[in-house]
Structure 1
Amino acid sequence: MTDGEPRIGIVGSGIAGLRAANAILKCKVDARIVIFGDETHRTYNRPGLTKKRYPVSDALEMTIAEDLKVNGAENNALTWRLGTKIETADLRNRVLRLSTGETFEYDRLVIAAGVRPRTSAEGNRECAFHTHRTLRDLGDAQYMHNQLQTSEKVTIVGAGFVACELASLAKDYGCEVLMLEALRCGPFESVLGKRISIALGRWVVQNGVTFLTGDSARELLCDRTVVSARDVSASEASNLESPSDRSLFVEAIGSVPNVEWLRGNGLDLSDGVRVDEHMRVSQCEDVFAAGDIARYPDPWMAGNHTRMEFWKNAIDTGDLAGRSLASSLGYDAKISQIGYFPSIATEVFGLRIQVAGNPKISDSMEIICGDLDQLDHGVLVAFLREGVTVGAAYMDKGARLNSTYIALLKSLKAR
């Protein structure tokens, strides 16, 4: 326990950490709030990294950062420690050990460290044929946009939200795009199921992408072990292609929760950080978690815990974690159990895709309106579990079925 005013540490400068901090301030908590972030930038709109084409510029990173600002990030009532990694945490003694060699003692802690991209190859070996990249932060986005402005060809591994948005962006920049999905039949299959994913795969192909699945995709995967610049002799290395000659190879195959710094504290870190319905970390009354890293009781499936990786989830869980923390310090804060209504939206080659509820737990689906062979004309799908609607998806190039979709959402929220 520190002396004087309470010290609150927030590990993670993303939207979940910022919303937790702002929720604490709204409860008029008299404390010093310190936000630690690996990146050198304050909070920005991370989903926007793949949603807009930018003109050629020498100040591209600054342009993107300015474009993706979020409300509250300039709040100087908060102490920002950017470019600072948390190496380890001693939750029993309430001490964080920083990458600078310093320690930070806290009275309350919010874990909002998020996730990092999953990769298929270990280490940073250099590939002779491809420039391997992932996309997560502003630095990645600056590199990616620069490359897409000049590359003739890009290979994208994966068919989730980031992969599909990046493919759409690459085509907009004029690139030849190859997408590889070795594990599933098409885009968003883990969320929307096989039938819709196959239909979305057709949509991707109709918009000029070469989209391969299964063995055809697997044959073209590259794990950087075929030829590595560090594994060849000097004479051989001189014959390798320069980075500018290699095609861009982007992996968008999921993510890994950033939990390593928490090991040794007796926490359940099997899939992120397990919390209760108030976002309090199990067995730690002074520690809370929010955002992509938090695994909380699933309001859609009793007895199950869920972890979700999208913007609205980070906002809502961040708000709740902040209010719960304020309440734990004795301040008047309106808190409730997590009663989350998931919703996410994206756009792929002009097709607006909206998903609500939790289709993953469904055992059947019903097409309410439209035809999966004509996604751009509008398709509305309900997902059911034991006859009860638990999710919905709406795909359209306009808003023809919007009122019907909203009515379906109201029936979902009434559960």
Structure 2
Amino acid sequence: MPVVNRIADYAEDMKTWRRHLHMHPELQFDCHETAAFVVERLKEFGVDEIHEGIATSGVVAIINGQGDGDTIGLRADMDALPMQETTGLDYSSTVDGKMHACGHDGHTTMLLGAARYLAETRRFSGRVALIFQPAEEGGGGAGVMVEEGMLERFGINQVYALHNVPGVPVGQFYTTPGPIMAAVDTFEIFIKGDGGHGAYPQDTKDPIVAAVGMVSAIQTIVSRNHYALQDLVVSVTQIHTGTADNIIPEDAYICGTVRTFEKDVQDMVEDRLKEIVAGQAAAYNVEARLDYIRGYPATVNNAEKAAFAADVAREIAGEAGVNPDAPREMGAEDFAYMLEKRPGAYLFLGQGDAAGLHHPAYNFNDEASPHGASFFARLVEKAQPLVEA
């Protein structure tokens, strides 16, 4: 079957909801207005329970099916990004320096559409827990919700999430068994030298040449310290130092990101960074400190649940519209914390030609909303079918 007919009837409402959310972006855990909008809609739909204030501004709503059964969790993230929108749309962000540049407004809308349908039809057993999560963009809101006991509190035993992807036809899905998104770590290097006049470098301990040496050496981690068929990214993304053309500065700062799938590779990168920083500092007679911050873990799909989710997606998109064995990606996602605790799957949903994610001209495609809402709804009905009396 294609998009659920009843959900197709909600298409204009979903567009209205999504564009309202797009106009009022919020960051990290401060998603209180977004949560209030979600709660207002959920009350209109007649869900059975609404629990607010989880991970500061997160919401979990419960819809009871018919008869006993398990509880399936469906998650949507709500937060925006600290970016200035350039779309020029009549519903563009009304908040300076904030915009929904990753489509979380669309994710929230798709889950609301599924909530409306599921509360109306209740053609499933057990319960569904609708998880509206803050702080995916760097705050680790999913991890906080897990730490606060959300999964145990609501008896959630499997979890699923969708993310939109530009450049893939609207309504097409892809996923993969096992790792689908990478772990993400951050490294910061603080170099302390002895500054002075640019004309007399012999009287200084130059942090700039030390920084350049470190950055060059860091590039060898991928090329010389790991097996070429293992996925690994080590990128230096910031170097800050100096104030004028005739001053050798006191300090330099280096920052970067590490993307891995295997813990032994992650450990190796951290160890090599320590060795490089210490060795280069000694070579250039400066002091240096490495801070290595482990962030989101790898997002790992349960193979059985990923296959099941792909089967559900085929009902919406057809056989040709689903890739169940897509290549894994080096981006990161805090839904990983939920998948560490419960079996489930993370899928991508195409939204057609559009600016890329995290681009100031990005805009979620409202035509994708009925596809995502239909997927969530059918997922619940197939995972927890009604039991014949």
TM-score (norm 2): 0.28
Select the structure of larger CA radius of gyration: 2
